[in-house]
Amino acid sequence: MGNLVVAQSGGPTAAINATLVGVISYAKESKQIKTIYGAKYGIEGMLAGEFFNFNAWLEQGGSLEQLLYTPSSALGSCRKKLEDGDEDTIQELIQQLKKKNIEYVLYIGGNDSMDTVAKLSKYCKENGIFDLTVVGIPKTIDNDLVGIDHCPGFGSAARYVATTCMELKKDSRVYNLPSVTIVEVMGRNAGWLTAASALSRENGQEGVDLIYVCERPFSKEQFIDDILELQKKQCSILIAVSEGLQGQDGTYLAEQEQEDVDDFGHPKLSGVGSVLEQYVREKIGCKVRSVELNVMQRCSGHITSKVDLVEAKTLGEKGCQYALEKKNGAMATLRRLGNAPYQVEYYATDVEQVANREKKIPLVWIVKEGNNVTREMVDYLKPLIQGEWKVRLKDGVPEYVTLF
């Protein structure tokens, strides 16, 4: 009988605590597990020996129901990676885990975090450490992980983007004059979330008119032509663009801010919306506005997708199950069985297949003009934003959980 530690890493999502709840729910029913710890701030907290005791929290009345819908990593997060060949840090990490009699490590994160799982589990395998099992559980609003049909956290972000684009369309068409509204959506190298803006025009609703994802080289001239063409037919035009749009020469359209390189060394992009806004103002001269959906697209706990939260929780349960089954180096994942009815099945995959890789939108799901997505793309997206999760309100605002 050993202890378990669960941690969260990388950018937060609105479903990442549902996964945490899945892990805790499964673990607390297991006779193999004594204490359920959370590491504060991912592997940073593990290295510093900063652990949160979930058993104590539950005894004091902590509510898993409220934790489930609380957005953003409740255990905190980190961007720290294990460097190649940095055995000292790995050994330090293992020492800290042993001190707490931890036998199971569950790490919830994206492709960078899965690299941590891969390195740690590999080290254990290669060094005969059989009493430590490390399992990864995926999350990312970017939906860019390989080895999974779609990522937990993505569906809720997609529902936020789709709903907000519907509402921005309503807002942008009130004046009887030509206007262009550019919505900047998160996604450095993969345009899945930008593509989700297409869901704003389902069911006969008006939504985005043009969509530019970062998988295709972007032409500013074509962009202006597309707008001018559409302006012949309609007054207000709503456009969704990926933050990571690149020109034909492969450089980012957004101004890169040097100070804002994140700890994984990726440049933080912002401003493709403003760049294009300025360009439309110069070339067309009509009313133009850019809207950055910013971190709201990943933290809007008040508008999550029920399908997403259920899957996120189930992946947490499955991850815990695989850890107890000693599937060291596994990642809990899911595949889609069909859309009518929508159904998925869960299984374990090798985290090595997932780490450090990126899944982009297949080019066949982008129309040949490069300014929209296809029906296949919409069919893929649609099931992921279904259903509402009931959030408890008090005085008109949500009752969220703060662990520490």
* Binding piece for its own copies, criterion CB under 8 A, among 75-83, 89-97, 242-250, 336-344: 75-83
Select the residue interacting with its own copies from 4, 193, 299, 331 (CB under 8 A): 299
Nearer of residues 72 and 140 to its own copies, judged by Cβ: 72
Nearer of residues 206 and 350 to its own copies, judged by Cβ: 206
Nearer of residues 31 and 390 to its own copies, judged by Cβ: 390
Termini Cα distance of the chain: 27
The CA distance from 45 to 9, in Å, is 11
> Which residues does the annotation mark as catalytic?
142
DSSP state of 389: P
Nearer of residues 172 and 246 to its own copies, judged by Cβ: 172
Select the residue interacting with its own copies from 78, 240, 324, 334 (CB under 8 A): 78
396 binds its own copies (CB under 8 A): yes
Cβ pair 59, 352 in contact under 8 A: no
DSSP state of 347: E
72 binds its own copies (CB under 8 A): yes
Cβ pair 331, 106 in contact under 8 A: no
67 binds its own copies (CB under 8 A): no
CA–centroid distance for 141 within its chain: 2
The residues in 364-383 that bind its own copies, with binding defined as CB under 8 A, are: 382
The CA distance from 1 to 138, in Å, is 26
* Binding piece for its own copies, criterion CB under 8 A, among 120-128, 164-172, 242-250, 359-367: 164-172
* Binding piece for its own copies, criterion CB under 8 A, among 51-59, 88-96, 172-180, 208-216: 172-180
* Binding piece for its own copies, criterion CB under 8 A, among 38-46, 101-109, 111-119, 309-317: 38-46
**In terms of DSSP bridges, do strands 102-109 and 51-53 run parallel, antiparallel, or are they unpaired?**
unpaired
Select the residue interacting with its own copies from 19, 70, 113, 372 (CB under 8 A): 70
295 binds its own copies (CB under 8 A): yes
3-class secondary structure, 52: strand
**Which residue type, as a one-letter code, is found at position 32?**
Q
The closest of 13, 16, 353, 26 to 4, measured between CA atoms, is 26
The CA distance from 333 to 345, in Å, is 8
Residue 43 CB, shortest distance to its own copies, in Å, is: 12
Residue 34 CB, shortest distance to its own copies, in Å, is: 27
Cβ pair 371, 212 in contact under 8 A: yes
303 binds its own copies (CB under 8 A): yes
Nearer of residues 128 and 285 to its own copies, judged by Cβ: 285
The residues in 206-235 that bind its own copies, with binding defined as CB under 8 A, are: 206
* Binding piece for its own copies, criterion CB under 8 A, among 121-129, 143-151, 217-225, 388-396: 388-396
Cβ pair 160, 371 in contact under 8 A: no
The CA distance from 36 to 177, in Å, is 59
81 binds its own copies (CB under 8 A): no
The closest of 210, 278, 218 to 243, measured between CA atoms, is 218
Spell out a b/e string for 335-356, using b for 16 or more CB atoms within 10 Å of the CB, else e.
Answer: eeeeeeeeebebebbbbbebbe
Residue 278 CB, shortest distance to its own copies, in Å, is: 10
Residue 268 CB, shortest distance to its own copies, in Å, is: 9
**Which residue type, as a one-letter code, is found at position 240?**
A
Select the residue interacting with its own copies from 26, 41, 212, 380 (CB under 8 A): 41
The residues in 252-281 that bind its own copies, with binding defined as CB under 8 A, are: 259, 281
The CA distance from 303 to 189, in Å, is 25
143 binds its own copies (CB under 8 A): no
The closest of 99, 67, 69, 90 to 2, measured between CA atoms, is 99
Residue 178 CB, shortest distance to its own copies, in Å, is: 14
Cβ pair 42, 8 in contact under 8 A: yes
The residues in 186-205 that bind its own copies, with binding defined as CB under 8 A, are: 199-200, 202-203, 205
Q: What is the CA radius of gyration of the chain?
A: 22
Residues in the site for its own copies, rule: CB under 8 A? 8, 12, 40-41, 44-45, 70-73, 76-79, 159, 162-164, 166-168, 170-176, 199-200, 202-203, 205-206, 259, 281, 289, 291-292, 294-296, 298-303, 305, 382, 385-388, 393-400, 402
